[in-house]
Amino acid sequence: AQETARRARAEAHQIALRVESVRSTEQSLRDAIERMQQQLAQSEERCAALQEQLEASGIPLEDQQRELEALLEKRVAVEGELSEARRRLETIDHSLRELDRQRHQAEQQVQQQRERLDQVRLSRQEILVRSRTLEEQLQQSGLSRQELEARLPGEADIQAWQERSEQLARRIQRLGAINLAAIDEFREQKERMEYIDAQHADVTQSLETLEEAIRKIDRETRTRFKETFDKVNAGLKEMFPKLFGGGHAYLELVGDDPLDAGVAIMARPPGKRNSSIHLLSGGEKALSAVAMVFSIFQLNPAPFCMLDEVDAPLDDANVGRFCELVKEMSEKVQFIFITHNKVTMAISNQLLGVTMNEPGVSRLVSVDVEEAAQLAAV
């Protein structure tokens, strides 16, 4: 490869010298052509001048004709030389282009030989490095080359062992750098994993305990809800006929799960069909709501109950039944109600009235019904 590269470089050098020589010849011809063109121009100028002199002077025509013919012959000779010089210049140009092509090919060959030479040098360097590495590994193993060759099987293939060695090298490379602290890190991670496992077990046990408690609470809640629902439903069935003078009403769960289900009031006033409370009139809705509230108060009485114009949509008959039920319930619950109905006012023990004698000025008037009755009797 080195000899081929040397020959290619020598050939390229010779071609470069030839190219330089041809270019020098080309430049000389160009200079000669330029001189000839100048001479031709001078001859033409001379002919024109002589023609003018011929016309202006009295020189014999024969002499002037001879001089003109001599100049014309000289012009023809110069033009011939100029044509020959141009032909030679074209030939040189063609030769120069051919030499440039050959020089380019030679340079490409030189470049290819250089690349091959670099590859050979690189391969040689790799072989040297590998040889040193193998020698170092052989020294570290404590074996001599003869001992190693003796241990190899007789059918050992260099190519196969080479591929196996490269395969092992790639596997080692994929393993990455050796972490000398891996054992300590493994021990720490193992302890941390054991700690997390213990925490996970505790959390799992606590979660199971909570889930069991939730299930127990749900069971107890369902039981208590069912008991309360039944009692309120029974109270509603009792209160509704008292307020309406007959009829029937009951509570109905809307849904399968009692804890998530809604509650609907189904009512059937006297003379009407059984329907939801939403289909009743305003007065019927008010009495149904009062029956529901009183049923709850009957189960779990509160210190007081406030009613705001509940009797407003009721007629006199319903107001009377409402007042009777309020009297009955007042033995357990204190009622505070706002009303404009005189019948409802009559059952109260204490009246508080609001008057406005002057625009924008309210006045509160308190009346004890029992005391007022005693004064009226006197």
Domain with CATH 1.10.287 in the chain: 2-140
Q: Check whether 75 has a pLDDT greater than 80.
A: no
Answer with the residue of higher pLDDT: 169 or 326: 326
Look up residue 258 and give its two tokens.
Answer: 């009692």
In this prediction, what percent of the chain has a pLDDT beyond 90?
3
pLDDT classification of 2: cutoffs 50, 70, 90: low
Cα angle 239, 349, 235 (rounded to 5 degrees) comes to 10
Q: What is the mean pLDDT of the chain?
A: 79
Task: Specify the pLDDT at position 210.
Answer: 92
**What kind of fold does domain 2-140 have according to CATH?**
Helix Hairpins (1.10.287)
Q: pTM value?
A: 0.43
Per-residue HEC secondary structure of 147-186 comes to HHHHHCCCCCCHHHHHHHHHHHHHHHHHHCCCCCCHHHHH
The C-alpha R_g of the chain, in whole angstroms, comes to 65
Look up residue 236 and give its two tokens.
Answer: 């509603």
Long-range contacts of 265-269 (CB under 8 A, 24+ apart): 265/236, 265/292, 267/240, 269/244
CATH 1.10.275.10 is held by the domain 222-347: no
**Separation between Cα atoms, residue 307 and residue 341, nearest integer Å:** 13
Q: Mean per-residue pLDDT for 148-175?
A: 73
Per-residue HEC secondary structure of 193-238 comes to HHHHHHHHHHHHHHHHHHHHHHHHHHHHHHHHHHHHHHHHHHHHHH
**Is 265 exposed, middle or buried, given 0-12, 13-18 or 19+ CB atoms closer than 10 A?**
buried
Cβ(75)–Cβ(40) below 8 Å: yes
Q: Mean per-residue pLDDT for 119-148?
A: 77
Q: What does DSSP assign to residue 169?
A: H
Domain with CATH 3.40.50.300 in the chain: 222-347
**Which helix (H) or strand (E) segment is 21 a member of?**
helix 2-56
- Predicted confidence (pLDDT) per residue in 121-135, tens digit: 888 888 888 778 877
Q: Check whether 5 has a pLDDT greater than 80.
A: no
Highest mean pLDDT among 66-75, 212-221, 256-265: 212-221
